[in-house]
Structure formats: structure tokens, C-alpha cells
Structure 1
Amino acid sequence: MRQIRLLLGILAVGLLPLACSDEHNHNYEDNDEVVLWMSTIGPYHNRQETYSYFSLPFCKGTKEVINHYHETLSEALQGIELKFSGLEIEFKADISRTEYCEVILNEESQKLFIYAVKNQYWYQMYIDNLPIWGVVGEQEEKNGVVSYQIFTHKKFDIGYNGKQIVDVNLTTDNKKELIPGQHIAFTYEVNWKKSSTKFEDRFDKYLDPNFFQHRIHWFSIFNSFMMVIFLVGLVSMILMRTLRKDYARYSKDEEMDDMERDLGDEYGWKQVHGDVFRPASHPMLFSALIGAGYQITVVVFSVIIFAIIGELYTERGSMLSTAIFVYAATSPINGYAGGGLYARMGGRIWIKQMLLSAFMIPALVCGTAFFINFIAMYYHASRAIPFGSMVAVTCICIFVILPLTLVGTILGRNLAGTPDAPCRVNAVPRPIPEKKWFMEPLVIIMLGGILPFGSIFIEMYFIFTSFWAYKIYYVYGFMLLVFIILMIVTVCVTIVCTYFLLNAEDYRWQWTSFLAAASTSGYVYLYSFYYFFFKTKMYGLFQTAFYFGYMALFSLALGIMCGTVGYMGTNAFVRTIYSTVKID
């Protein structure tokens, strides 16, 4: 049944408005059932190392049957386990202190609770999609003797406005020392209070405007914006002045006879016009990366827009659900861009290119997730992906992403697959002359990512803190500005790098422009090491593998996106300068 629920998760989301009064539509009548979900538990400093709440020897309430149950695909992929608490809670019905279960501590359960208290375990619960947090217990020291105690009473203060729940607060007390053989009774109480908070504003209490809207955040945005203005102006001034001189010199060359031209001082980007539009090496891989980059760019932009419009952070798992849906729906963009480019480069094995383009990103994501999944299974962590979720993801890749990519590839080959280079390509490649060390492609690639990384450096800190610590990221307007700034800076930098490369009579600009922009991801991944060791207190094999595994995926996706944007801008620049000058 669990696998069936996961496979039908997306369908269930579409049918939510038809559900009865409950947490799906957030409307309740008096004495309607209100479900308290017990989610995960884990050490405070390892946010991603989570386990099922009942992996500790807690006990459930007396109620065994609920009227509804739901767990979406995105929740399962994120390791959000929902277990019914067994506590009876009804809308607007106060409950005085009531015992709901009892635990007799044996030696094993005592050790588990003590380990949890030592490692500062905290747990997460949900009422009407509102998260609630509590700590398992605390340790006390008296006269040099350390005792371990857990909280046995949960007090819920629930605010309502009309028929909707707008606020939930948890208070834990009644500490009991962990002594083998002791009978520990767990109790709860519920108090309902009328609130003036609007339903649309109920999530505001979880946000931290003092952190995300801090002066340094505004300053970083302003600083990046000024960098864009300066860089765009500098690039425009240098290139236009330089190109104007080049155009004047080359126009003068046209008036010379062959003898004068041979004796003249010819150099620069014009000399490689017969090779500059030569297909890139490894065209299949290159076109697949460009196609995937187009798709990732559209997905990131779309999800940011949806997050701004729909406040996706307020609904559990909605951000990942939106990302999966948009990624699958935009697969034709991948096929069109990659398939068209591969055809223009003279590629013949288009089916293999289409498969590579369609499954490159899913294979990397799934491969990393499955590797981490083995570690999660060893630790019995809730992050272990259920088999039903794996089947669901595989079905999406095979029955949605692959056919849409195939359609896009066919359209791309037929509509945009005709070579349209403004210059003819020489039959024999021109030898690349020796040049200074700082003009070598490898050096240009390493230096190309510094300025783009500098434009997003501060925002990376806020994004990392929201994902790896306990902040909810909600300033997606800032993210949109930083995204646009990153795109502009990346294009400007890669154009400059490519111009220097071509001026050195090196026509290998396709891979250089892509990798120079993509090198931004290398600096982001290096920064993730600094953040891990100096800004967090994470520890353990599972958390370390989870952190560096998914940070590698994040950096890789960022690199493909930046590389594609850099190539797009550079391609437009190269085609412009070579189509303006008469060189055939």
C-alpha cells in the first residue's frame, strides 16, 4: 500500500480540493479530527541525519485509525516520514492533561534515550502542515553526577481564525530521570485560542527577517549590481574600441593587393575565420551539456518565479514537487537545443545523443542519491529512499522525460539543424601558434569563474544556511536578482575571455567559453568545504557523505547552467563579429 500511495502522490495532489474538511484544504468544522503527525528525529547539529520518530522507544496514543493519510513523492524523496501520533485532537475542543501511554524502561531503551539526550536530539511534528519542534530531554549535573532526563508532557496551544488553524505552539515539561525499570507516563493537553492572525500570514512566525534582510544582504545585492554595471560598461568600452580599430585595419586590408597583405602585419581574431566555426571536439557530449544547460536554466528561473508567486516554502514538499514537474515538462527544450546543435555540428548518431542528453542529469542525481541511500539504509535513517519512490522516479524518466526529449530532438534537428555559420570552414585545421602562458585555455578557464562567483558569494551563504541549518529561505526576490546578475556577469566574462583567445589565434572557443563559465561551480564547491568546516558543527559519515554528495550535484548543475549561458552569449558575440567583417 505504501508504494501505491507514493506512485499516486501527484494524482492525489490534484484531487486535494475535492477532499473533505481536513489539513488538505485547511478548513475544519467544530469537533473535526485534527491529526498530529510525528515526523522525524535526529541530532541538532546534523540536520539531514534524521530517523523515524518512533525509532526511539516512544509510545503511541490510543487512537489507531484516522480518516485520511497522505505522503507525496517529494516528501518521500526528502525523507519526511509521517507517522500518526495516536493522539485524539478535535477542532476547538480543549483537552486537559491526559495520559496517553506508558513506557517501562529496560536497559536497551534507557541507552537509546540517553544517547538521544547526549546528542541533543530534537523531533519534528506537524499539525495542519505547520511544523512543530521539541527536544527529547536534557542532562543535568549535580555534585559532579550527571543525570539524563526526558520531557514527558506535551502542551499544544493552537490558535484558530474562523475555520482555519493559524498558529501552533508546543511546550514540553515534566522531566523524568532515565532509570532502568522506571515507569514513564507520557501526557498531553490541548488548548484552543482564538487568534487574529490571518491564514495567509500564519507562516510568518517561522521566518527570520533579521537574518535574510540584514544590511549585509542588501549591501551584497547592491555590490553585485554595481559590479554588473561596471563590467558591462568596461566590456562594451574595451570591445567596441578594440573592434573599431580592428574593423578599420581589416577594411584597410581589403584595399591592399595580395603582395601588400602578405607583407603586412596580420594578426588577431580575423586570421582564424576559417576555423572558428569548426565543430567542437566531442560534439555529442558538448551538445548534450548545452541541451541540459538550457533545461536547467529554464527550470531554475521557473521555480524561482513560482516560489515568488505561490510562496512554495509554506507547503511541505511543494518546492521539490514543482521542480520535478517543471523539469519533466521542459524536457523538449533540452532535446531541441541539444539536438539542433548536434545536427549543426554534423552529428549523425542522434539517437545516442538524445539518450545522453535526456538521462545525463537524472543519472547523475539518481547515482548520487542511490550511493547516499546505501549509507542511509545502514544507519536506518529516514533519508533512505523507499522502493516505491525509486520506481516512481524511474517511470517519470522513462515515460515522461524520454518521450518529450525525443520530440524536442526531432524538432531541433529539423527546424534548427541546418549549418548556418557566417564563414566557411577550411578543410585543413589551422595550426595554433604559441602564445603566452596566461592566454592558454586552461588558465582562461580557471580565471573565468572568479567574477561570477564573486557576484553570488554572499547569496551562497544564505542559501547554504537555509538548507543546512535551521533557516527557512523565503527571499526569492533576492534570489531572482542574483540569478539575473549571475547570468549577465557570466556572459560578459566569457565574451572577454573568448575575445582574448581568438586574438591569440586560438579557435577552440566553444569548450573554452563553456568551461570558463562553468568554473564558477568549482569555486562554489571549494566554498562548501569552508562552510562545512568553519560554519557548521556537522559530524559523522552519513552527514558528511550527504553534504558533499549533494553539494557536488548542486555545483555540477550550477556549472552546466553557467557554462551554457556563457556559451550562448559567446556564440552570439562570435557570430556577430565574423558576420560583420567581409572575410571570404
Structure 2
Amino acid sequence: MLSGATFLLLGHLLRIVVGDEHTHTYTDGEEVVLWMNTVGPYHNRQETYSYFSLPFCVGPKEKISHYHETLGEALQGVELEFSGLDIDFQADISKTTYCEVDLNEERLKTFIYAVKNHYWYQMYIDDLPIWGIVGEVDESNENYYIWTHKKFDLGYRDNQIVDVNLTSEARQKLELGAKVKFTYEVNWRKSSIKFEDRFDKYLDPNFFQHRIHWFSIFNSFMMVIFLVGLVSMILMRTLRKDYARYSKDEEMDDMERDLGDEYGWKQVHGDVFRPPSHPMLFSALVGAGCQMLTVTSLVILLAIVGELYTERGSMVSIAIFIYAATSPVNGYFGGSLYARMGGKVWIRQMMLSALLLPTLVCGTAFFINFIAIYYHASRAIAFTIMLAVICICTFVILPLTLVGTVLGRNLAGHPSYPCRVNAVPRPIPEKKWFMEPLVIIPLGGILPFGSIFIEMYFIFTSFWAYKIYYVYGFMLLVYAILLVVVMCVTVVCAYFLLNAEDYRWQWTSFLAAASTSVYVYVYATYYFFFKTKMYGFFQTSFYFGYMALFSVTLGLMCGTIGYLGTSKFVRKIYSTVKID
């Protein structure tokens, strides 16, 4: 009985201390927790530190610890610490001093450095983010000031918080030996904002739904229609002529055929389905690309339906979960392709396919993590989180990829090519320089990049600046446009290559489509130098490291869809022509 009463008492106390920020409902006088998150330079959004790494002081209220509720929170550097401020639901608080700081030389230098570098801080009330600036410099750039008063205007509707505003007031000059008093006040007011609409104030429709954005989508859509029509018309007319020529050749006797000048893609029918060089790597790349195509499609659809931007770290957490859950897709497509290519060491291929992308991601993240640890940044990933990621790879991704590989090898691993593969490879004849794969590959990425580069600007701005990306309908449309353009371009590239009697279309189609990512990375470099004011080794490493990962992933997806589309095309044209 005593034990039960104790648990009830503890539960009641926890409710009083923590508040109902998970249910987002409060009773009159119930505590509302103000969490202090991070502080950092305004121009370096990812270079963040714990709020109390600056010599701010904590309020008098008893400390509450916060744990990372999701893996995404931990990976995104969310470091919530209790402010110590006493805030109760619908209870106004007049201007109150909650702590004092004596400015010695070390604290003074720290605050001056923060003000000079335009440090901003972030807080949360009921999962609603609040931003404030540490201080400011006067026009002479000689005197530094800090804001000491926080005025909270909180809007409520029924028993829920629907609006939060912060006003920084009471500027005080930073001087050695000065005593800084930090104060706050809280004003509650009724609001007409609906709870489900409370995040609308953080969105920027004037930016994301600008006419340029709509025009770029329309322009890309028209380009797709034009490109698909052009490719279809050219290829159909060209292929019809090819079929007519090959049919005429079939009516000749052997002597006439030997004396005739045969050329074109039919001549490589005995080699066109020959496995490419490095089949293990190729199948692993295609398998990983199929998985990323699935993950990207599902995440975009969930973001459209679920408004994931309203929860901290939810996008990253869901992406990790979906990636792990879709590992059989990787194994199925990669394993079946490797089996059709005659691969024997399928266990090694499965391991490569499963760990290829996670190794790249973890390797880059761990490298940046060492820099974050050196800087004592909040982006530093704890060892337990690293261990959790390794466990996901070992105990979830690997077994599921194995299941997919076994299914793929047994259900779709038997080659069924329309043409027999010759025992001896046919020598590749000399051709014009612009028909070489090394020329076709870089040219193949220009049109796909042209269809998405405007959207890249909006995505980059939302991630690297203080914008919340929410127009996932636009993203889905651009994503579909990209896939269609990639397939059209790679089909044309493969046709030109085969018509030059070069049967190395597998790697060419994959790399021609994947070259889109090179242009994206070049654009990211341009964006860094001309569209941002980022500085410092940590932010620069973070930017170029994760943009490299983004580009590699995009290249995997584009390369895979380019290869799959080209494979269908090649099978189709060789299955409709008579082969001796």
C-alpha cells in the first residue's frame, strides 16, 4: 500500500515538475517549462553550443534534466537544459530578477566574443521554438551591450499554448567588474490561433511560394513534356528506320550480307547483355540506389501528410527508421542483379550493398564529430548514440538485407536476356570523340541538374539558413520531374553509345545520370561562397562534408533510375529485332 502511494506521489510530482508538454494541455497554474537549447553565431547555423556555455546564470527553480527523446534529436545537436524560470499556465509575472552575474575578465571576454560574432540563442516552450539575440554593438564598434530582460508574451486557447513571443529589452554595457542582473516577465493573453495552426507563424510563404518558385516548377514541367516528346519522336523514328534496315538485311542471302556495310546497335547483340566490369560494386550501387529511391519517396509522402517540421528531430528519426526497414529492397534488387550477372560470392556482395552507404555516412559524420568535440559544440555525437547507430546497422540493416538478397536471388536471379551472350567479347571499334563514354557521362547530368537547381536553392536555404521547409508538394513534383528527365537523357545516351557499337552501356548509363550530383556539388560550392556568410573551420567542414553526402546520395538515386530505365529500353529494342 505504501509502495503504491509512493508511486502515485512521484507521478504527481513529476507531472508538476515536467508539465504536460507532451500532451500540450495544461490546467490553470500548472508549470510551463522553458527549455534553453543552444547558442551560436547567426551566420553559422550548425555551429551551436550549449546555452550555458556562455556565462549565463540559471534561475532559482530546481533543476530538471532532459533526455533525448528520439535519435533525431541527438543527431541534430538538441541540448535542452532547464532555464530555472518559474512560469505557470495563465499566471502573469511582473518584471522579476532571477539571477546576477559578476563580469570578471574571463566572462567579459566570452560575452564580448559572443556579441561581436552575432550570437543567437534558441529556447523552447511547449515545443514551440523561440529565438533571441545575446547583445549588440554600437555604431562605433567599440562598445558592446547585452540584453538582460526577457519579456515573454504567451498566447493560449482553452487549455493549450498556441503562440510564444520573446522581446529582448534592458540593454546593459559590458564592462569589467559590472554586475549584470537578468530579469524576465510573463504576460498571458487569449489567442484565436488554432492549436494545429500554431506553427504557421514560423513558415515563410512569401519566400517558398514566390512566383519564381512557381515559375521554375512550371518551367521544369514543360521541359519534361518537351523532352519526353522529343526523345520519343526521335527514338521512334530512328528505331523504325533501324528496324526497316535490319529487316532488309534479313532478306539478303549470306553473300550479300557479308559484302554489305552492316553497322549500328544490332551488331553488338552478342555483347550488349555481357556483365559490366566490377559487377559486385555495380550491383551494390544499384541496390543502395533502389533503397534510397524508396526511402526518399516515403519520407516526402510522410512529410506531406504528417507535417514533420512540427516535432524536433522527427524528420531524421523517421528517415533512419524507414532506411532500416527498407533494407530488403536493397538486398532484393542488388542481390538479384548480381545473380543475373553470374556473381558467385553473394555474401560479400550483400555485405557491400548493405554497408556501402552507412559506412560513407558514418565515416563522414564521425570525422565531423571529432571536429565538433574539439570545438565543444552541441553537434558532437555522444558515444552511446554512435553505438546505437552501429547496432542498427549490425542487428537490423544487415539481417534485413540478407533476407532481401536471398529472396532476390531465388525469385529474380535467373538471367532471361533476349539475346545470347557471346563467349568472346567483340572488339569495340573506333568512334568519334563525342561518342566516347568519358564525354557522354559529364554531358548526361546537365539537363537533370537544370530541372532541379532552382529547388536546390530553396532546399539549401531552409537547411543552412533560418527557414523551415514545408512545401513538400513542390519537392515531390520536382523529384518526379528529375526521375523522368534522368531516364530520358540516359536512354538517349545509351542509344548513341550502342549505335557506335560500344556495348558498355551499364556503367555509362549509371554514371551519366549520377553526374547530376557533381553539378549539384559545384552549385553547393557556389552557394557557400556567394549566398551565405558562413565562416570558420567547423562550419565549413560541416557544410562541405554533409553536402558531399547529399550529392553522393543524389548520385546513387539518379544513377540507379538511369540504369533501370536504360535497361528496360535495351531489353525492349533487342527483343523486337530478329537475331540470327
Bin the TM-score by the shorter chain: over 0.9
Aligned residue number for residue 503 of structure 2 = 507
- The match for 2:118 is 120
**What residue is the counterpart of 2:222 in the other structure?**
226
Q: For the Cα contact (< 8 Å) 2:102–2:177, is it kept in 1?
A: yes
Q: Aligned letter for 1:527?
A: Y
Q: 2:526 aligns with which of 530, 552, 565?
A: 530
Q: Tell whether the 8 Å contact from 1:114 to 1:178 is kept in structure 2 after alignment.
A: yes
Please state if 1:256 is matched with 2:284.
no
* Equivalence for 2:400: 404
> What is the CA distance between 1:66 and its match in structure 2?
3.7
State the distance in 2 between where 1:140 and 1:21 align.
Answer: 40
- 1:109-156 per-position Cα deviation (integer Å, ceiling 9, x unaligned): 000000000000000001111110000001124xx5721110111011
CA–CA distance in structure 1, aligned partners of residues 65 and 504 of structure 2 = 64
Alignment of 1:156-555 (within 5 A): 156-555=152-551
Opposite residue 401 of structure 1, the aligned amino acid is I
Q: Distance in 2 between matches of 1:210 and 1:119?
A: 28
How has the CA–CA distance of structure 1 residues 69 and 278 changed in structure 2, closer, same or farther, with 3 Å as cutoff?
A: closer
Q: Is the 8 A contact 2:521 2:548 kept in 1?
A: yes
Q: Is the 8 A contact 2:103 2:177 kept in 1?
A: yes
CA contact (8 A) 1:125 1:131 kept: yes
**Equivalent in the alignment of 1:44:** 42
Once the two structures are superposed, what CA deviation does each residue of 1:182-204 show, in whole Å capped at 9, x if it has no partner? 11111111111110100111111
- Alignment match, 2:7: none
Q: Is the CA contact 1:46–1:543 (under 8 Å) kept in the aligned structure 2?
A: yes
Letter in 1 for 2:24: H
How far is the alpha carbon of 1:71 from its aligned partner? 3.4
1:419: Cα distance to partner?
0.9
Q: Indicate conservation of the 8 Å contact 2:18/2:33, yes or no.
A: no
Where does residue 139 of structure 1 map in the other structure? 137
What's the offset of the Cα at 1:82? 0.7
Amino acid at match of 2:360: L
Q: Distance in 1 between matches of 2:496 and 2:39?
A: 55
Q: Equivalents in 2 of 1:338, 1:68: separation in Å?
A: 42
Does 1:105 find its partner at 2:103?
Answer: yes
User: Could you say which residue in structure 1 is the equivalent of 2:71?
Assistant: 73
How far did 1:65 drift? Answer: 3.8
Could you give the per-residue CA deviations for residues 448-470 of structure 1, whole angstroms, max 9, x where no partner exists? Answer: 00000000010000001001111
Q: How many Å separate the matches in 1 of 2:530 and 2:99?
A: 43
Match of 2:344, SS state, is coil
Q: Is the 8 A contact 1:106 1:181 kept in 2?
A: yes
| Cα deviation, residue 168, structure 1 | 0.2
**Structure 1 residues 394-413: Cα deviation after superposition (integer angstroms, max 9, x where no partner):** 11111111110010001001
TM-score (ref. length: structure 2): 0.96
* Conservation of the 8 A alpha-carbon contact between 2:19 and 2:32: no
Shift of 1:67: 8.7
The answer as to whether partners of 1:284 and 1:347 remain within 8 angstroms in 2 is: yes
Write out aligned runs for 1:11-30 (5 A).
22-30=20-28
Aligned 8 A contact 2:66 2:81 in 1: no
Q: Report if the CA contact (8 A) 1:125-1:133 is conserved.
A: yes
The answer (yes or no) to whether the contact 2:37–2:121 under 8 Å persists in 1 is yes
| Partner of residue 55 from structure 1, selected from 45, 53, 56 | 53
Alignment partner, residue 569 of structure 2:
573
Counterpart Cα distance in 1 of 2:226 and 2:37: 49
Classify the secondary structure of the residue corresponding to 1:133: strand
Q: Which residue identity is paired with 1:520?
A: T
- Distance in structure 2 (CA, Å) of the matches to 1:69 and 1:406: 34
The whole-number CA distance in structure 2 between the counterparts of 1:139 and 1:67 is 34
Aligned sequence identity (%): 80
Count residues in correspondence. 564
Question: Can you give the 5+ residue segments of structure 1 that lack an aligned partner in the other structure?
Answer: 1-18
| Distance in 1 between residues matched to 2:374 and 2:386, nearest whole Å | 18
Is the 2:66–2:80 Cα contact (8 Å) retained in structure 1?
A: no
**What is the CA deviation profile of residues 180-233 of structure 1, one whole-angstrom value per residue up to 9, with x for unaligned ones?**
121111111111111010011111101111111111100000000010000000
Structure 2, unmatched stretches of 5+, are 1-16
TM-score, structure 1 length as denominator? 0.95
Cα distance in structure 1, aligned partners of 2:242 and 2:28: 80
d(CA) in 2 for partners of 1:52 and 1:71? Answer: 18
TM-fit CA distance, 1:163: 1.4
Q: Secondary structure at the match of 1:71?
A: coil
Aligned-residue CA RMSD in angstroms? 1.2
Is the Cα–Cα contact under 8 Å of residues 77 and 383 in structure 1 kept in the other structure? yes
What residue number does 2:88 align with?
90
Give the drift of 1:483: 0.2
Shift of 1:70: 4.7
Q: Is the 8 A contact 1:101 1:186 kept in 2?
A: yes
Distance, in Å, in 2 between the alignment partners of 1:565 and 1:69 is 41
Distance 1:567 1:21 in 2: 54
Secondary structure of the residue that 1:38 maps to in structure 2? strand
| 2: CA distance, partners of 1:189 / 1:389 | 37
Output the amino acid matched with 2:26: Y
Provide the rounded CA distance (Å) in 1 between the counterparts of 2:441 and 2:28: 65
Deviates more, 1:32-41 or 1:567-576: 32-41
Q: Give 2:570's aligned amino acid.
A: V
> 2:75·2:379 contact (CA, 8 Å) conserved in 1?
yes
Asked if the contact 1:520–1:562 (Cα under 8 Å) also holds between the matched residues in 2, the reply is yes
What is the CA deviation profile of residues 268-301 of structure 1, one whole-angstrom value per residue up to 9, with x for unaligned ones? Answer: 0000000000001100000000000000001111
Which residue identity lines up with residue 168 of structure 2 in the other structure?
T
Q: Which amino acid aligns with 1:543?
A: Q
User: Contact 1:283–1:347 at 8 Å: present in 2 too?
Assistant: yes
Question: Alpha carbons of 1:418 and 1:189: their partners in 2 closer, same or farther (altered >3 Å)?
Answer: same
Match of 1:4 in 2: none
Q: CA deviation at 1:91?
A: 1.2
Q: In structure 2, the residue corresponding to 1:189 is in which secondary structure?
A: strand
Residue 225 and residue 263 in structure 1: after superposition, are their counterparts in 2 closer, same or farther (change >3 A)?
same
Q: In 2, are the aligned partners of 1:71 and 1:82 still within 8 Å (CA)?
A: no
